[in-house]
Amino acid sequence: MKVRFVLPAAFAVLAGFATQANAGPVMDKIKAEDSLVCLVNTNSPGFSVPDSQGVYQGFNTDFCRMTAAAILGDAKKADIRGIGFSDSMKTIVAEGADMASRSITRTGTRDANPGMRFVVTTYYDGQGFMIPKKLGVNHASELNGATVCAEEGSTTLLNIADWFGDRNIEYRVENIADKSARLQAFFAGKCDVLASDRTALSSDRLLADNPGDFAILPEVISNEPLTLLSRPDDAFETAIYWAFQVMLNAEAMGVTSENIDGIMADLANQPKGVQRLFGQDSAAGEMAQQIGLPADWSYQIIKQVGNYGEVYDRHLGPNTSFDMARTATANALSQDGGLLYPDPIR
């Protein structure tokens, strides 16, 4: 997490009298255009795929909508655009989009780039390998001499170089930037192995003519904190960060898109944490003034998009083709043993 500022006690008192933070150029642009441009993967089942109307749907796209709901009061004002991996960061640096939600790993060298900001991790992943079952391979240690398809410009290439090199396992890499071409090469047998984040492999497997012909090996060879990326702008980054915290806090408190209206109708009798999360005369309202958000920003996030658990279950959970339970994984809430720790809104 990025440390933004620390106020001494004397200045903290004065901060309470602030009415609104100075909005930056990105926040000003979004409000002036009444639209937020957000980049996603062009074809990643469960994470971002266009529906029959050409509108992107998926786990990652909902964080674009979360941000639009927080800043503009309307999740539909997220202008979601598909783009290749290597072009996504270049587009942010070139100021061609406001943010990206497309499974980008936060690394030290990327975070050091002054043209972009990593804001908050939405999914904790790790790199793995997918193979055709007909190879008869059960573990990555059996891949000596394999040809590996990987994405150009990604951390995947560095991770496989480290992993194979440390184990003196020979391999050859097919470095293919275009996802469609990369998958075509793998499914056609031109590569023995497809290397990527394990969630991406689960998604890519569904694009095969016969998904059952392929298996994901058990080894996880890296840490991949998949993080929302934005153009540099303190107010914009703050809005994204705390919008995500609203989703985590709402899940921890049992507030969903289905029950929030009933909760709001009886807010005075709700637990104090819920009152702070949604009361316009409480912490959420004070934050709205200081960041420059609509007074009901936290309500709109949950009503229009849902809490984190709802988003996860809708796209990746047990009732989807992925059947990926969060229990006892890094992507569970911290109270359930995971790494998703709701920061206090108070």
pLDDT tens for each residue of the chain, 346 residues long:
333 334 333 333 333 333 444 579 999 999 999 999 999 999 999 999 999 999 999 999 999 999 999 999 999 999 999 998 889 999 999 999 999 999 899 999 999 999 999 999 999 999 999 999 999 999 999 999 999 999 887 889 999 999 999 999 999 999 888 889 999 999 999 999 999 999 999 999 999 999 999 999 999 999 999 999 999 999 999 999 999 999 999 999 999 999 999 999 999 999 999 999 999 999 999 999 999 999 999 999 999 999 999 999 999 999 999 999 998 899 999 999 999 999 999 9
User: In angstroms, rounded to a whole number, what is the distance separating the alpha carbons of residues 154 and 222?
Assistant: 13
**CATH classification of 127-222, choosing from 3.40.190.10, 3.30.420.40, 1.10.287.3510, 3.40.50.2000?**
3.40.190.10
Dihedral sign for Cα atoms in the order 64, 70, 72, 73: positive
User: In angstroms, rounded to a whole number, what is the distance separating the alpha carbons of residues 254 and 277?
Assistant: 12
Longest dimension (CA), the chain: 68
Helix, strand, or coil (residue 106): coil
Residues carrying CATH 3.40.190.10, the chain: 22-125+225-336, 127-222
Residue 22: what pLDDT?
59
**With respect to CATH, is domain 22-125+225-336 assigned 3.30.470.20?**
no
Report CA 146 to chain centroid distance, whole Å: 31
User: In angstroms, rounded to a whole number, what is the distance separating the alpha carbons of residues 322 and 16?
Assistant: 46
Distances (CA, A) of 146 to 137, 156, 182: 11, 16, 16
Q: Is the pTM value of this prediction over 0.85?
A: yes
Q: What are phi and psi of 59, to 5 degrees?
A: -55, -50
- Are 264 and 37 spatial neighbours (Cβ–Cβ below 8 Å)? no
Residue 11: what pLDDT?
33
Contacts of 254 (CB under 8 A, 6+ apart): none
